[in-house]
Amino acid sequence: MTTKLKIKKGDQVVVTSGSSKGVKGEVLQVLREENRVLVQGVNMRTRHKKPTQSTPGGIEKIEAPIHISNVALADPKSGKATKVGYKALKDGTKVRVAKASGETIDK
């Protein structure tokens, strides 16, 4: 059973713990079943690829997923980590809101 995640693909997040603490990046992918996210430039791993007919092979750096509890949404106003809340607008649409500044989180 998966829980409701408040972080989505394309969001700017701040890493709150681990070796990449304090690093900001964009969410590339959300893995709902594992409660993990793939963040650009965070948790880099080296991958040794064999050469094939189409690719030369070599050593690549790729992002590995990190647990969603180790990232927090970046506040659109200050850029610092913030919690996420929800608010209904006058026209009835539900939007995500940064708790620290009260700003709406746009895509």
Q: What pLDDT, on a 0 to 100 scale, did the predictor assign at position 29?
A: 95
Reported as a single tens digit per residue, the pLDDT across 45-65 is: 999 999 999 999 999 999 999
Domain assignment present for residue 20? The answer is yes
Number of domains composing the chain: 1
Domain assignment present for residue 101? The answer is no
Q: What pLDDT, on a 0 to 100 scale, did the predictor assign at position 1?
A: 57
Full domain range(s) for residue 21: 12-75
pLDDT bin (cut points 50, 70, 90) of residue 2 is: low
Enter the DSSP assignment of 59: E
Domain assignment present for residue 49? The answer is yes
Question: Tell me, what CATH number does 58's domain have?
Answer: 2.30.30.30
Distance CA 16, CA 80 (A): 10
Domain assignment present for residue 19? The answer is yes
Domain assignment present for residue 89? The answer is no
Side-chain-side CA neighbours of 50 within 13 Å: the count stands at 2
Domain assignment present for residue 87? The answer is no
Domain assignment present for residue 2? The answer is no
59 Rama sector, left if φ>0, alpha if ψ -120 to 50, beta otherwise: beta
